[in-house]
């Protein structure tokens, strides 16, 4: 008994000692973690060097499809309008998903900003309707597999001879039109081709495991054309869905489903308030832009004054013409116009523009432009910042994605621009 109680006593002291030792090391650990965490937090606050956050006035990440207008930081709120529904590729599910009118679409590369387009292809998800989609040397089986939107609405196209086609007629003017289709290989290895004019065909690289959106752009010159799909080799078979024929030199996001009439997707209009977020005297804007194969001009952001001038009504803007230039420009009193080279998309670029009373500069992917030190700032105050589009009546769109849009209320040095835009 006595021996046992002594043992219990000893064990009790041992446990207390162990607890004390444990608490001591826990205390040391917590102290150390605070000591080391402080500078790390200072440096990495918000995932960014802390010295950039002190003057950050506005930050729209555009990374949450469930909360597309969310601001990490800012005064007021983003505003978005689009008068029609639209589709987008959901960043989590990967499915072609419907967005209601007024819903900003967030894809994996950020906010998708497009202009108005019309899908001229009728019955876009009913490719077996022979009165509209005319098969030649081809069998069409309806609703055989799961489509890119997750519903079992995709058709199987099987060639019964070489150069089997599935075509739909449309009426065009003298302009560029683009036909696009989601395709996936079922059997065979022959060429799979698409065309916007049934004369010249683009061969598309597809596989048997994922859907590929194939497109072809042709400038049409007579009234009636046929767009569609061609299988070069007899007995080859593909899955097909989402026929889309648009007036334009590149495919925009899929517009559908269509049935007896063409369907129009209206323009995306995204704006941010100036007050509290933006200073016309000094500031910096950075963003990440991802563009497809749009070869025309595209705008990343724009601002307007209450009294619009002759060129777009802009106070300042940032835009690119693929294959030629990336431009930062400021109009009115104290013009600056800095340009850098720009490659043809698809590409993702981290870009920045900065301005002050003595200097303006541009940067892209860690490289700065040629600074302009002749600038004196305009007395005009912009009323709105438009993201991904011009303010003016000509409405030039990004036709791509804007992500991580930030405004600072101070001008950045060249080295800061290089750091913040480093790829
Ligand atoms: Ca179908």
Ligand 1 centroid to Cα of residue 181, in Å, is 13
Apex 63 CA angle, 90 and 274, nearest 5: 130
The β-bridge partners of 247 are 177
Residue 16 pLDDT: 57
Enumerate the domain spans of the chain: 2-42, 48-115+267-420, 117-264
CA of 122 to the centre of ligand 1 (A): 12
Distance of CA 152 from the midpoint of ligand 1 (Å)? 7
Per the model's pLDDT, the better-predicted residue between 158 and 37 turns out to be 158
pLDDT given at position 282:
84
**pLDDT over threshold 70, residue 377:** no
Cα distances (angstroms) measured from residue 185 to each of 53, 166, 167, 203, 236: 49, 16, 19, 13, 9
User: What integer pLDDT is reported at residue 21 of this predicted model?
Assistant: 58
Task: Quickly state the pLDDT bin for 293 (edges 50, 70, 90).
Answer: confident
CA of 403 to the centre of ligand 1 (A): 34
- CA 350 to ligand 1 centroid distance, Å: 40
Q: For the domain bounded by 48-115+267-420, which CATH number is listed?
A: 2.60.120.200
Task: Tell me, in angstroms, the distance from the centre of ligand 1 to residue 96's CA.
Answer: 15
Intra-chain end-to-end CA distance of the chain, in Å: 75
Second CATH level (architecture) for the domain 117-264:
Sandwich (2.60)
Contacts of 218 (CB under 8 A, 6+ apart): 176, 177, 195, 196, 197, 199, 200, 225
| Residue bearing tokens 């002759």 | 310
Residue 333, pLDDT score = 44
Q: How confident is the model at residue 378 (pLDDT cuts 50, 70, 90)?
A: low
pLDDT higher for 8 or 400? 400
Q: Inform me whether the pLDDT recorded for 309 exceeds 90.
A: no
Instruction: Assess whether pLDDT exceeds 60 at residue 348.
Output: yes
Measured in angstroms, how far is the CA atom of residue 112 from the centroid of ligand 1? Answer: 27
Residue 309 CA to ligand 1 centre (angstroms): 50
- DSSP category for residue 124: T
Q: Could you tell me the distance, in angstroms and rounded to a whole number, from the CA of residue 142 to the centre of ligand 1? A: 5
Cα(248) to ligand 1 centroid in Å equals: 25
- 269 closest CA partner among 382, 98, 386: 386
Report the share of the chain in percent with pLDDT over 70.
Answer: 72
Q: What residues contact 113, with CB distance under 8 A and at least 6 apart?
A: 268, 270, 387, 388, 389, 397, 398, 399, 400, 401, 402
pLDDT at 45: 43
Q: 50: part of which helix (H) or strand (E)?
A: helix 50-53
57 Cα–ligand 1 center, Å: 49
372 CA distance to ligand 1 middle (Å) = 57
What is the mean pLDDT of the segment spanning 178-191?
Answer: 98
The CA-CA-CA angle for residues 221, 223, 227, to 5°, reads 85
Residue with the bigger pLDDT between 407 and 396: it is 407
The three-state secondary structure class of 109 is coil
Identify the pLDDT of residue 54.
75
Confidence of residue 197 (pLDDT cuts 50, 70, 90): very high
CA-wise closest residue to 196 among 217, 165, 224: 217
> What is the per-residue pLDDT for 364?
87
Residue 17: which H helix or E strand, with range?
helix 2-44
Fold equal for 48-115+267-420 and 117-264: yes
- Alpha carbon distances (Å) from 127 to 70, 144, 393: 39, 12, 38
Cβ atoms of residues 242 and 124 within 8 Å: yes
Higher pLDDT, 81 or 21: 81
* Integer CA distances (angstroms), 261 to 124, 132, 411, in order: 10, 11, 52
- Whole-number Å distance between alpha carbons of 384 and 303: 6
The 3-state DSSP class for residue 333 equals coil
Query: How many Å lie between the centroid of ligand 1 and the Cα of residue 263?
Result: 17
Question: Percent of the chain at pLDDT above 90?
Answer: 57
Q: What is the pLDDT, as a whole number, of residue 203? A: 98
List all residues 6 or more positions away from 267 whose beta carbon is below 8 Å from its beta carbon. Answer: 82, 114, 115, 116, 389, 395, 397
DSSP state of 46: G
Cα–Cα distance, 360 to 191 (Å, whole number): 52
Average pLDDT, the chain: 83
pLDDT in tens, 134-157: 999 999 999 999 999 999 999 999
- Greater pLDDT, 99 or 380: 99
What would the mean pLDDT of 278-307 be, rounded to a whole number?
72
CA of 299 to the centre of ligand 1 (A): 37
- How remote is the CA of residue 207 from the centroid of ligand 1, in Å? 20
Q: If you measure from the C-alpha of residue 371 to the centroid of ligand 1, how many angstroms do you get, rounded to a whole number? A: 56
- Partners of residue 401 on adjacent β-strands: 112, 290
Higher pLDDT pick, 306 / 6 = 6
CA–centroid distance, 121 to ligand 1, in Å, is: 14
How many angstroms does the Cα of residue 249 sit away from the middle of ligand 1?
Answer: 27
- State pLDDT tens for residues 51-82: 457 799 999 999 999 999 999 999 999 999 99
The whole-number pLDDT of residue 38 equals: 40
Centroid of ligand 1 to alpha carbon of 250 (angstroms): 24
Q: Which of 242, 226, 249 is nearest to 177 (CA)?
A: 249
Q: How confident is the model at residue 321 (pLDDT cuts 50, 70, 90)?
A: low
Q: What's the gap in Å between 183 CA and the centre of ligand 1?
A: 13
CA of 127 to the centre of ligand 1 (A): 6
What is the average per-residue pLDDT within 287-311? 62
Per-residue pLDDT, 291 = 81
**Alpha-carbon Rg for the chain in angstroms:** 29
219-252 residue pLDDT tens: 998 889 999 999 999 999 999 999 999 999 999 9
CA–centroid distance, 206 to ligand 1, in Å, is 20
Question: Ligand 1 mean position to 151 CA, how many Å?
Answer: 9
* Centroid of ligand 1 to alpha carbon of 175 (angstroms): 30
Q: Which residue has the higher pLDDT, 359 or 249?
A: 249
Among 21-25, 58-62, 115-119, 181-185, which stretch is predicted with the lowest mean pLDDT?
21-25
Q: What is the pLDDT of residue 159?
A: 98
How many whole angstroms from 153 Cα to the centroid of ligand 1? 4
φ, ψ of residue 228 to 5 degrees: the values are 170, -160
Strand ranges in 114-233 using DSSP code E only, listed in sequence order: 117-119, 134-136, 138-145, 154-159, 164-171, 175-187, 192-195, 202-203, 212-220, 224-231
């Amino acid at each position: 008994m006595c021996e046992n109680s002594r043992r219990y006593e000893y064990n009790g002291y041992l446990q207390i000692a162990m607890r004390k030792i444990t608490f001591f090391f826990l205390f040391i650990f917590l102290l150390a973690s605070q000591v080391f965490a402080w500078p790390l937090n200072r440096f990495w606050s918000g995932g960014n060097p802390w010295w950039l956050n002190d003057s950050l006035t506005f930050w729209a990440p555009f990374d949450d499809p469930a909360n597309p207008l969310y601001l990490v930081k800012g005064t007021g709120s983003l505003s978005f309008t689009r008068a029609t529904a639209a589709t987008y590729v959901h960043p989590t599910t990967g499915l072609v998903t419907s967005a209601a009118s007024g819903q900003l679409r967030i894809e994996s590369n950020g906010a998708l900003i497009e202009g108005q387009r019309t899908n001229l292809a009728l019955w876009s998800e009913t490719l077996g309707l022979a009165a509209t989609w005319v098969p030649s040397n081809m069998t069409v089986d309806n609703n055989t597999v799961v489509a890119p939107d997750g519903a079992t609405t995709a058709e199987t196209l099987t060639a019964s001879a070489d150069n089997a086609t599935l075509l739909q007629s449309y009426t065009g003017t003298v302009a560029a039109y683009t036909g696009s289709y989601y395709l996936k290989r079922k059997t065979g290895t022959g060429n799979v081709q698409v065309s916007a004019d049934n004369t010249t065909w683009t061969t598309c690289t597809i596989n048997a495991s994922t859907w590929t959106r194939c497109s072809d752009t042709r400038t049409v010159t007579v009234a009636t054309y046929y767009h569609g799909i061609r299988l070069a080799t007899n007995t080859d078979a593909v899955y097909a869905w989402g026929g889309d024929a648009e007036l334009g030199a590149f495919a925009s996001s899929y517009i559908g489903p269509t049935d007896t009439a063409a369907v129009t997707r209206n323009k995306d209009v995204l704006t941010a308030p100036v007050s509290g977020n933006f200073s016309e005297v000094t500031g910096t804007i950075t963003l990440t832009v991802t563009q497809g194969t749009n070869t025309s001009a595209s705008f990343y952001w724009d601002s307007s004054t209450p009294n619009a001038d002759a060129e777009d009504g802009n106070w300042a803007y940032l835009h690119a013409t693929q294959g030629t230039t990336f431009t930062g420009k400021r109009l009115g009193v104290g013009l600056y116009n800095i340009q850098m080279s720009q490659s043809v998309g698809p590409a993702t670029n981290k870009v920045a523009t900065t301005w002050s009373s003595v200097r303006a500069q541009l940067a892209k992917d860690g490289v700065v432009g040629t600074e302009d030190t002749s600038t004196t700032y305009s007395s005009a105050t912009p009323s709105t910042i438009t993201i991904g589009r011009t303010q003016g009546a000509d409405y030039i769109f990004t036709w791509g994605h804007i992500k991580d849009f930030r405004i600072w209320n101070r001008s950045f040095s060249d080295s800061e621009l290089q750091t913040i835009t480093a790829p």
